[in-house]
Amino acid sequence: MPEAVESTDHPPHRPSRQVDAVLFDFHGTLAQVEDPIQWVQAAAVACGHELDRGKATMLADRLVMAGRAGGPLPARVPPQLAEHWADRDLYAHSHRAAFTGLAATVATEVEGLAEALYERLLGPEGWLPYADTEPTLRTLHGAGIKVAVVSNIGFDIRPHFDAWGLHSMIDAYALSYELGRTKPDPAIFLRACGMLGVDPERTLMVGDTPADAGAVKAGCAALVLPASEPGRPNGLTAALTLAGCGA
């Protein structure tokens, strides 16, 4: 009988999955607000007015400077709006009051425009997912990695993901106005991990601001990506690589 020989052949090494969950910021990470001119023109139409591009451009510039939800922070917040501004991501009514109030500081000839601009924000048509959002979420979902959206926000974004066909790929939503905590408070990241039933040390947070990096204090790893223009890829393949399921 020939002696048994132990094989020296080994299957190719496959790295183990590095994380059990990925948390994503919403604005500037998975989606971006629509073009400001389109935003103004669409809101004006909802008020029964049509604005030519020149007029819409002028108004859009002023409204963005005044403070647009999803846009740059305003240079100045009027004293009468200060409390709502401070609480905008904690209470839905303060979010609405802050941003409609800022829009109302811009003189227009369109009655009801401030409210229409805000309503535009509440619907999926006012936003555009990044080009790599869907494939990134699909890859994570297929790999069995849980996903949560963690956002400082004053309204429900679940309908947005539903309209974009992405809702089935999101396991939980940790929204500041529902939880009473805002990033960078570690509590909101810990709550998101609790919703997913995962260990923070096996969790990656992906965002676009220093507030998102607050996840490190909760024990998570963090990836901060600069926000791209609407509709373009946003570098989310880097999250797949860190999650251990990149190409």
DSSP letters, 107-151, are --SSTTHHHHHHHHHHSGGGEEE-TTHHHHHHHHHHTT-EEEEEE
Q: How many CA atoms lie within 13 A of 8 on its CB side?
A: 0
Give the model's pLDDT for residue 70.
84
SS3 61: helix
245 in Cβ contact with 21 (< 8 Å): no
Closest C-alpha to 47, from 127, 100, 122, 117:
117
pLDDT one digit per residue (tens) for the chain, 247 residues = 333 333 344 444 334 568 999 999 999 999 999 999 999 999 999 999 999 999 999 999 999 999 998 888 898 999 999 999 999 999 999 999 999 999 999 999 899 999 999 999 999 999 999 999 999 999 999 999 999 999 999 999 999 999 999 999 999 999 999 999 999 999 999 999 999 999 999 999 999 999 999 999 999 999 999 988 888 999 999 999 999 886 5
Q: What is the pLDDT of residues 153-187, one digit of tens each?
A: 999 999 999 999 999 999 999 999 999 999 999 99
Convert 46-82 to b/e letters by CB count within 10 Å (16 or more is b). bbebebeeebbeebbeebbbbbbbbbeebeebeeebe
Distance from chain centroid for Cα 71: 12
Report the alpha-carbon distance of residue 167 to residue 180 in Å, rounded: 23
Closest C-alpha to 172, from 154, 187, 157:
157
Paired sense of beta strands 146-151 and 127-129, if any:
unpaired
List the helix and strand counts (H, then E) for the chain.
Answer: 10, 7
139 in Cβ contact with 41 (< 8 Å): no
Overall pTM surpassing 0.85 (yes/no): yes
